Amino acid sequence: MKQLSTKVTSNGHGQDSSYFLGWEEYEKNPYDEMKNPNGMIQMGLAENQLCFDLIESWLAKNQDAASLKRNGQSIFRELALFQDYHGMPEFKKAMAEFMEEIRGNRVTFDPKKIVLAAGSTSANETLMFCLAEPGDAFLLPTPYYPGFDRDLKWRTGAEIVPIHCSSSNGFQITESALQQAYQQALKLDLKVKGVLVTNPSNPLGTALTRRELNLLVDFITSKNIHLISDEIYSGTMFGFEQFISVMDVLQDKKLGNTEVSKRVHIVYSLSKDLGLPGFRVGAIYSNDEMIVSAATKMSSFGLVSSQTQYLLSALLSDKKFTSQYLEENQKRLRSRQKRLVSGLESSGITSLRSNAGLFCWVDMRHLLDTNTFEAELDLWKKIVYNVKLNISPGSSCHCTEPGWFRVCFANMSEDTLDLALKRLKTFVESTDCGRMISRKSHERLKSLRKKTVSNWVFRVSWSDRVPDER
C-alpha cells in the first residue's frame, strides 16, 4: 500500500466544519429563480456582487485594458511571457494608492513594501511561514473566520489560541481577554509569535475601535510579538464612521520607523471591496525588509497573473472611477444591510450592530431548545435542510456563546434576499417559540439590546467547550 503524508490523511484542512458542509449542501441544490425556485439560498458566502454593473460599465468604456491592448496595440505576447515574482510596478503602485484612498489618504503605503499573493488566503499563510515555526502560536479574537483554521494552521503547523470575546460588550477585545489567551498559550507550552485580527471583523461585521487598536499595539509592544491586521474588508465600511487602520494608530503613536512598526503587517485583497475573489489578488504589506524579501520569494507558489495585474492596474489608476465606486459601494451595502436587519426584526430576530462587511452577526439564541452547541447545530440543520438557507453557525467561527449565526447579504439580488427572509419568518412563526416571539417582538427587541454579563468556560478548542447554563 502506498504511504501518504499526514497532510493527506489527516483532517487538518477543516473541511468537515459546518461552515464548509453548508456549502456542500448548497451545491447539491442551488436556488435559481427560474430553474430551481425551491432550492437552497446561499447566505454563507461573503461575496460582494452589489457593484458589478459599475465595473462592467468601466470595462465597456476602457476597451484597451479589457482587450489587453496599450494605445490600441495588442500586448498579449508581452503579458503571456514569464513575469518574475516581484509583480508589475504599475500595479503595485495602483494597489498602494487604492489602499491609501480607502483610508482617507491619512496614511501612505510604499509600493516597494507590497508583496503580491494569490488572494488573502495565500497572503496569510505566507506570513505564518515567515513568522512562526511549527508549533508556535498566534492569538485570534473570537469569533473568527472559520477558514483561518485552514489558512493559518494546515500546512504551516502553527497553532491558534483564541482570545475569547463576549456579547456583553459587543465582542470587543479587552486587555483581560488578551492576557488570558497569552497565559493559556504558555500553559500549553506554546510560544506566542503574534496576534492576528480581521479589521473589519469577519464574522461580526464591525470595525475595530481606536481603543482596541491602541490596546493591540500596546500589547504586542509589551510582549515583543507580531500583529497581523487582515484588512480585506476595509473598503466595505457602510456606517458613517471612518475606517481606522492599524497604520493610523502607528502614525498617531509616532511609531512609523521603529522596531514596533516592523512587527506590524497588513493583509489586503480585492476580493471583498471590489468583489473579485475569482481574480485571486491579495497582498502583504510589511515594514520589515526581511519579511518582504522572504514573502516575495514565497509568492512564486501563488502568483497573480500578468493579465490580471495589467487590467486592474488600469482600473485602480482611474481615480474618478475608484472614488465613485467606493462611494456607491458604501451606499448599496448600507441599504442592503438595512434590508436584512429590518427583515430579521420582523421575525423577532436581532443582530449585532454592524458598520462594515458583507454579513450580519445574527442572534438566534432565543430559538435554541437548550443553551448548548448541540442545540445550535440542531437549529442550523433545520434552517439548512428545511428552510433551505445556508447560514454559518457561530460554533464554526469558534464563538463561545451558542446561538449566533453569520448571515451574508451581498451575494444575491434583493428579490432573493426577500425570499430568504420570508422563508425564515415562516419557520420562526411555525415554532412555539416563534409564535410567542411574534406577539411580543417589540418588547423583546428592546430588552435584548441590554446585554447582561455572562461567564463562559475558557477552552482552546471550540469542539469541547461547554458554556455555563443560563
Please, which residues have CB within 8 angstroms of residue 277's CB and are 6 or more apart in sequence?
Answer: 47, 119, 271
- Please state whether the peptide bond connecting residue 200 to the residue before it is cis, i.e. omega within 30 degrees of 0: yes
Taking residue 79's Cβ as centre, other Cβ atoms within 10 Å add up to 18
Q: Which of 26, 31, 144, 145 is catalytic?
A: 145
Location of C-alpha cell 470587543: 172
Told to judge if 230 belongs to the known catalytic residues of this protein, a careful annotator would answer yes
Cell of 365: 439564541
- Report the C-alpha gap between 166 and 170 in whole angstroms: 7
Q: For residues 242 and 248, is the Cβ–Cβ distance under 8 A?
A: no
- Do 207 and 357 contact (CB within 8 A), yes or no? no
Torsion of CA 235, 241, 242, 246, to 10 degrees: -90
Nearest to 26 by CA among 50, 47, 51: 47
Cα(249)–Cα(106) distance, rounded to whole angstroms? 11
The sign of the dihedral angle between the CA atoms of 26, 29, 35, 37 is negative
Active-site annotation holder among 114, 232, 266, 437: 232
In the three-class reduction of DSSP (H, G, I as helix; E, B as strand; rest coil), residue 458 is classed as coil
Name 452's bridge partners: none
Task: Enter the C-alpha cell of residue 148.
Answer: 483561518
Category of 224 on φ-ψ map: left (φ > 0), alpha (ψ -120 to 50) or beta: left
Is 272 among the catalytic positions?
A: yes
Residue where the block lists cell 512562526: 132
The span from the CA of 330 to the CA of 402, in Å, is 31
Let me know if 220 is a catalytic residue.
no
Residues 136, 230, 288, 363: which is the catalytic one?
230
Catalytic: which of 92, 153, 272, 388?
Answer: 272
User: Is 145 among the catalytic positions?
Assistant: yes
DSSP annotation of 153 reads I
> 165 with 142: CB under 8 angstroms?
yes
Amino acid at 127: L
Cβ within 8 Å of residue 410, ≥6 positions away: 46, 47, 48, 49, 50, 333, 336, 358, 359
From first CA to last CA, the distance across the chain in angstroms is 52
Give dist(CA 409, CA 299) in Å, integer. 32
Q: Which residues contact 299 (CB under 8 A, 6 or more apart)?
A: 85, 87, 115, 116, 117, 122, 126
What backbone torsions phi and psi does residue 356 show, to the nearest 5 degrees?
A: -165, 170
Half-sphere exposure in the Cβ direction for 18 (13 Å, CA): 24
Q: Would you please indicate which residues are annotated as catalytic (active-site) residues?
A: 145, 230, 232, 272
